[in-house]
Amino acid sequence: MRSYDANNIFAKILRGELPAHKVYEDDETLAFMDIMPRCEGHTLVVPNTPARNLLDANAAQLTACLRTVQKVSLAIGERMRLSPIEMEILSVASLLHDLGKQGVRDEVLFKPGSLTEAERQEMDQHAAYTQSILDMIDYPADLWDVPRIAAYHHEKIDGSGPFGVAGDDIPLAARIISVADVFDALVSARSYKPALPPEEALGKLEGGKGHDWDAAAVDALRAVAGDVLGEIYGIEYDPPRLDRAA
């Protein structure tokens, strides 16, 4: 698979530096799942776009993170008793939620320290980039809302997220992905921070219930945390026991 840096052709198109209508490599139809893992058996098709430039970039690292967030999202969704079609939508959207990070410069994306305000603003653009990328794809009818759901994974319940959407106007799947994404970031080591202990990570999420994150999704994660940490992260976790003293 060919590799491209984060300042690739597609990133330049997103920034308005190159015309979007021009095909830069070839004009053959690109099967999206030839690059990313198959989503519940669907093949999502990107016709006549330079999307391969974007999706090839840092593919292994990006795919590993996306798959992890997908697994956590599905564990939360199952606990919340989502319907089969809701689980299918959640599976696809969670797998694709961070594709827009390929439009962020590597020196910002992988910076081993705190971001400047300008760099933070650039990073915050990745949700909009995600929607721009995913809007190019033809979806089965049941999955038509995947671009919006994936893009809204940084929306806050109080409306302070990138798109300013609040409360129940944020699709439930996006609220679940948001919780899963933050949890993954907290319990995983990054170039700019160590991993947090599971209980501290869960405590941070619980502290943001109702204003940052969906309370039901956070409660569902708490309920399945032992299985999630053991099966997905290989972390032993003994949930705190309730004080049963009379």
Active site amino acids: 101
Q: What single letter denotes the amino acid at residue 1?
A: M
Which among 99, 171, 109 is positioned nearest to 135, based on CA atoms? 99
Query: Backbone phi, then psi, for 112, in 5-degree steps?
Result: -85, 25
C-alpha to C-alpha distances, 232 to 69, 97, 142, nearest whole angstrom: 10, 18, 28
3-state helix, strand, coil in the chain (%, to 5): 55, 5, 40
Instruction: Say what the alpha-carbon torsion angle 65, 66, 68, 70 is, to the nearest 10 degrees.
Output: 170
